[in-house]
Structure 1
Amino acid sequence: QPLALFALFFTRKVTMASSSSIPATTVREIRVAQRAGRPAAVLAIGTANPPHCVPQDDYPDYLTDLKPTFAKLCGMTGIGRRFFHHTDELLATHSDLSLDAWLDVVATAAPELAASAAANAITEWGRPAGDITHLVVSTNAGSHAPGTDVRLVSLLGLRHAVLRTVLQLNGCASGCAALRLAKVLAENNRGARVLVACVELTVTAFRAPHEADTFDTLIPQGLFGDGAGAVIVGADPDVHERPLFEMVSASQYVIPDTEHMLTMQLGSGGIGGTIATGLPRLAAGIVERCLLDAFGNHLAVVGGVVEWNNLFWAVHPGSSAMLDHIVGALHLAPGKLDASRTVLREYGNMLGATVIFVLDEVRRQREDPEGERAAADEDWGVMMGFGPGFTVETMLLHAAT
């Protein structure tokens, strides 16, 4: 009987040991099964803006001090109008401009604006919101937890098990950063459908000028507007999905010793920071190197030595000066950055959401039967964004249609 008990005990130990150890080959098989079979792709795009629109020529009237200087700055931006959540009535009811008051406004308004853009993307996508598996939210406006990501779950009817990630204070590069993350999530989780929602409200940065202001510190007041962009990203599209752009590769480059050139911080007076006037020239001087790094081993795929004019372009339009310097640095033909210029003129700089508007405009120009047809022949393209650091985000795109 003791021998029988020992045999039973030994058998159980062996069985437990074998069942708790997974062979390495099985782990590799699981890893392969987790990965998608094709690159991630943009499956749908949606945008939204608040209803309050201010012509750029009228905007200096909001900031009466230093008005001549500020009016000159606004005239240099290439912006025709901007949209804002804050109105004259809202400013009157929050005349103290306290940070707590503005953050409360953002906590309510940002999820609603993001939901509008996301609903537009989901409608275009054509599948139920419950099929979204991952949610990536990017914003430079608020600072609440739980925040916009949690609120979007209920506003959009997402599954409560959706995997959420939030990016904050990544500046104008945040849209590209969020899409880069979505690419990784989609390609490493078979069947994943990632909703990217970038929402920006400038009410936390709105302030009157003061004597200590310089041209650099006034630049944000003349550039930024409110908006939200949403993108659905997935790999291995089904028969009901229509891929727009395949996301081939992505890179991020930080230019050394440029931390002072573009800054953002949340302080007692709200979101503040500086944009150095030399930033467009700095970006133009490094843009070709960033592009070559992003293309890397893919250069052979797009024809060896790259002729930049053979690509389509979705560049974050920080300002008209930024676009002009990039055109000069890459010797781009007139009209190559028309999508960026159109968005800048019609909406201003909406920080991270802007590049999604540009991507949507690129798609619109390519599909417009009445417009220029040359763009439709360009299969390869580039998406670029710029942010604090000074950081350059680059993604190589391939038109899927």
Structure 2
Amino acid sequence: MLKENPKMSTQAEPSLNARHDMLIKEVPKLGEKAASKAIKEWGRPKSDITHLIFCSISGVDAPGADYKLVNLLGLNPSVKQFMLYQQGCYAGGTVLRLAKDLAENNADARVLVVCSEMTVVSFRGPCETQLDNMVGQALFADGASAAIVSASPLLVERSLFHVVSVKQTILPNSEAILNQIETTLGLEKEKLRASKHMLSEYGNMSSACVLFVLDEMRKRSVEERKATMGEGLTWGVLYGFGPGMTMETVLLHSVPIQYNSGK
């Protein structure tokens, strides 16, 4: 990619068009991979999906990434689409808030939520005088995550978390967010272990992060044979932070895990 676009490796050369062309092509494709995994685990036919919420801070196009994803997945052309551009890192909470409203106000709705983020738009080559730029590039990463939200799950649908309530607010800016939350709330170290693990392993994937964290929690819960998907706990709070500084808050009720006897 860099050989084909050498201007991307320099600080001042114009390269926005090349970057944008990559994003509008690759962001829906990355989202399709995450959505396909979610649909496969869900186990119901794609034709049962009634709504699609696609979120990305990476590039802007018309028709948008939501339209392209409908075609990539082969969804029903009548699926109701919502495209959220340029929301930032808190948008993983935003899409759950919107999905909750749609699911609760549309009978039998099945809302496919997809967050797909790529960092090519902000990539710059190394510069000895811009250490902050290098740190930022090391922190942020590409990633896509997906979930299916319903207000009336059937027996064949395995619930993971119940979205109890949601809220958005604007706060004063704060550095080292995870450490600040841990200190201010007096949390024990293990409370944020899933969040810190995902940041360490994958970096900041903007809106896709919170669903990655929830997936990590449920995997650990099963591996450690906890009582619930929330690492054995019944209640939890999901926070998403982004530009503004804007914070999304989602109150979650964790679903009990049913284990087969003798295993």
CA deviation profile, 1:84-111 (whole Å, cap 9, x unmatched) = xxxxxx1111112311111111111111
Aligned: 1:112 with 2:29 = yes
Query: Post-superposition shift, 1:369?
Result: 3.6
Decide which of 221, 232, 244 is 2:160's aligned counterpart: 244
SS across alignment from 1:167: strand
Query: Post-superposition shift, 1:335?
Result: 1.0
Decide which of 174, 178, 183 is 2:91's aligned counterpart: 174
Query: Post-superposition shift, 1:375?
Result: 5.5
Question: How do 1:53-132 and structure 2 match up within 5 A?
Answer: 90-97=1-8, 98-132=15-49
Aligned: 1:395 with 2:245 = no
CA contact (8 A) 2:116 2:207 kept: yes
CA deviation profile, 1:153-181 (whole Å, cap 9, x unmatched) = 11111110111111111111011111111
Q: Which residue does 2:260 correspond to in 1?
A: none
Query: Post-superposition shift, 1:220?
Result: 2.6
CA contact (8 A) 2:50 2:109 kept: yes
Query: Post-superposition shift, 1:327?
Result: 1.1
Question: How do 1:300-339 and structure 2 match up within 5 A?
Answer: 321-339=176-194
Q: Equivalents in 2 of 1:166, 1:134: separation in Å? A: 11
Q: Which residue does 1:86 correspond to in 2?
A: none
Structure 1: segments with no counterpart, 5+ residues: 1-89, 262-278, 281-320
Tell me which amino acid in the other structure corresponds to 1:222: A
Q: Equivalents in 2 of 1:235, 1:371: separation in Å? A: 25
Tell me which amino acid in the other structure corresponds to 2:36: A
Structure 2: segments with no counterpart, 5+ residues: 9-14, 257-263
Question: How do 1:258-337 and structure 2 match up within 5 A?
Answer: 258=172, 261=173, 279-280=174-175, 321-337=176-192
CA contact (8 A) 1:385 1:392 kept: yes
* Aligned-pair identity (%): 46
Q: Which residue does 2:213 correspond to in 1?
A: 358
Aligned structure 1 segments of 4 or more residues deviating by more than 6 angstroms: 371-374
CA contact (8 A) 1:365 1:372 kept: no
Which has the higher mean CA deviation after the structures are superposed, 324-333 or 133-142?
Answer: 324-333
Question: How do 1:33-72 and structure 2 match up within 5 A?
Answer: none
Query: Post-superposition shift, 1:359?
Result: 0.7
SS across alignment from 2:158: coil
Q: Equivalents in 1 of 2:254, 2:228: separation in Å? A: 14
Q: Equivalents in 2 of 1:385, 1:250: separation in Å? A: 11
Q: Which residue does 2:259 correspond to in 1?
A: none
CA contact (8 A) 1:180 1:250 kept: yes
What TM-score results when the alignment is normalised by the length of structure 2? Answer: 0.89
In structure 2, relative to structure 1, the CA distance for the partners of 1:243 and 1:115 (3 Å cut) is same
Aligned: 1:235 with 2:151 = yes
Query: Post-superposition shift, 1:191?
Result: 0.5
Tell me which amino acid in the other structure corresponds to 1:393: E
CA contact (8 A) 1:252 1:393 kept: yes
Q: Which residue does 1:194 correspond to in 2?
A: 111
Q: Equivalents in 1 of 2:196, 2:226: separation in Å? A: 16
What is the aligned-residue RMSD (CA, Å)? 2.0
Q: Equivalents in 1 of 2:83, 2:62: separation in Å? A: 10
Q: Equivalents in 1 of 2:228, 2:73: separation in Å? A: 37
Question: How do 1:141-156 and structure 2 match up within 5 A?
Answer: 141-156=58-73
CA deviation profile, 1:54-111 (whole Å, cap 9, x unmatched) = xxxxxxxxxxxxxxxxxxxxxxxxxxxxxxxxxxxx1111112311111111111111
Structure of larger gyration radius: 1
Query: Post-superposition shift, 1:400?
Result: 2.4
Number of residue pairs aligned between Structure 1 and Structure 2: 250
SS across alignment from 1:238: coil
Query: Post-superposition shift, 1:377?
Result: 3.3
